[in-house]
Structure 1
């Protein structure tokens, strides 16, 4: 066997899983069909917040473990791409968020008179907001420092890495649909617009119950990310001009200055959704142990370190 561990996928789930294993002394190689800068993770808005992901109890545990790691990384934002930024999530009270909310320092209710028109409740919190280009580059450097490597090598079946390593960690995201195969994995299309920052210093989100598209405004060092959409089972990655205008319109009703901001970029990503995250180990017929870590939906960043730590524990089981 050429390697001790092969991790499939170089998005945030794959890189964090590889780092945890490498820093525990394992020899790790990441196989990926695209470099980290071209993964779905690179297109993400970057806000830590549990969104479109189940099961709820486990998600809360993974999210809070990730929050602890990212809070440490936020002390070096230029290096890691992680900042702690205050913001408001409108449309829910703290009690409606789930048990994880009690673990977020300073999370508090916001009264209707402090919210934009149309919202009667909300919460305010200071949580990680990641510049994903900088963060993915940091993760690559950290993996290399631990002795791991990233290889652009497409994988068509689990038997390929299973022949080359003692342990395989499957972080293939949407690719798991065909790789495993797992037909329950499906895309949830998200379109974003990046505009010049007219002076937005806090994030703002409204996540609906599925009857309407989500709304989010995320100030990043490179501009303000405006979103978004949640198209179930939609594979098209082409930005829609009409959708972009609708996104800008919804966001500018909350922050009117955004309506005149110059558009810098359009992005479309496919969230790797599944009814429940698959985080478990199995033994392939050839005898190789596989740890599955995929199906994170719209919260891959939020649970990345928590899932990576649990995946590493499963690898040692």
Structure 2
């Protein structure tokens, strides 16, 4: 019991399933909260091949993608996430980590009342009718907000997270996980960040895909974001500009749809005509993991006449990057608490 009051945490092996932004963030936070842990990530895809690597990634988490989640819990995730991303953005790590402070126009056909990110972002300003008209936004939208927030170039950010995890002593096994029996006797706790893979690994029928497609174009003159409620967004990353998007429920097909690409460009060029001169670099499609509610909880499962403690963290939908750090902090706290309890025994 250490000092007789606070239970100490013995050295323990913990495995994290999944190496997208949620898995990497959770693994790093376990290392931070429980330094005595030996943390291993097991994943078929590490950085490349993950859904996270293709995301446009702007910090604007909203209630729309958090159905069934207690609002105060969501606000804590957002506060923790903003503290992390804003600290990076204002540090010497911003470039290597792919983090940039970016003015962003949030455009809507209906009024946006007090979005969850309003009180944490650097600035939040409602555009007047005259300002909407000057920008040409009034032709398609009734409301607009100029927000100073953070944009993440996900490929750089994932590489930065992986490097940090490995520098902290973490290990990576690049392979597919078939079932939980393979972890029996090897790990004290399994942390599940497998997203849609949870459907097969844990029989979770609440998790399903939402297919999204975007283009990355060469448009170095675009230095600001445009994000709308009409399946159109323009997000400048380091080097290229992400132009999207689409939403297709329960579609597992990630092959490129040329008609969809054309429709995306047409929608975005109406809002930002200068995109007509942009050269398409590549097109990407991926599957957003949708679950109502997003799952962060502990579960005890049966494995070959034994029990295994699992901490789940998945189902982030379109806000995976923005919510990744905040939800990772909570999930890592659960791991710490589980280890404290087992240390008492």
> Normalising by the residue count of structure 2, what TM-score does the alignment of the two structures yield?
0.86
Q: Which residue of 2 aligns with 1:165?
A: 187
2:247 is the alignment partner of 1:230: yes
Q: How does 1:195-214 map to 2 (within 5 A)?
A: 195-208=217-230, 214=231
Distance 2:235 2:291 in 1: 25
Unaligned residue ranges in structure 2 (runs of 5+): 1-10, 338-345
Deviations along 1:223-273, one digit per CA (max 9) or x if unpaired, are 111000010001110111111011111111111110121111000010011
Distance 1:309 1:101 in 2: 21
1:289 counterpart (301, 304, 309):
309
2:87 counterpart (72, 84, 89):
72
Larger Rg: 2
Deviations along 1:199-221, one digit per CA (max 9) or x if unpaired, are 1111011125xxxxx21000112
- Root-mean-square deviation (CA, aligned residues, Å) is 1.7
Distance 1:158 1:53 in 2: 28
Aligned-pair distance for 1:89? 0.8
Alignment size in residue pairs: 310
Distance 2:172 2:223 in 1: 35
- Following TM superposition, where does structure 1 have runs of at least 4 consecutive aligned residues deviating by more than 4 angstroms? none
Q: Which residue of 1 aligns with 2:156?
A: 134
Unaligned residue ranges in structure 1 (runs of 5+): 209-213
Greater CA deviation, 54-63 or 240-249? 54-63
| Contact in 1 for aligned 2:98/2:156 (Cα 8 Å) | yes
2:66 counterpart (53, 74, 77):
53
Distance 1:135 1:94 in 2: 29
Distance 1:130 1:283 in 2: 35
2:101 counterpart (76, 84, 94):
84
Aligned-pair distance for 1:198? 4.9
Distance 2:240 2:152 in 1: 13
Aligned-pair distance for 1:85? 0.9
| Contact in 2 for aligned 1:87/1:124 (Cα 8 Å) | yes
| Contact in 1 for aligned 2:40/2:171 (Cα 8 Å) | yes
Greater CA deviation, 290-299 or 191-200? 191-200
Q: How does 1:1-317 map to 2 (within 5 A)?
A: 4-24=13-33, 25=35, 26-50=37-61, 52-54=65-67, 55=69, 57=71, 58-74=73-89, 75=91, 76-91=93-108, 93=111, 95-98=113-116, 100-115=117-132, 116=137, 117-208=139-230, 214-285=231-302, 286-317=306-337
Greater CA deviation, 221-230 or 53-62? 53-62
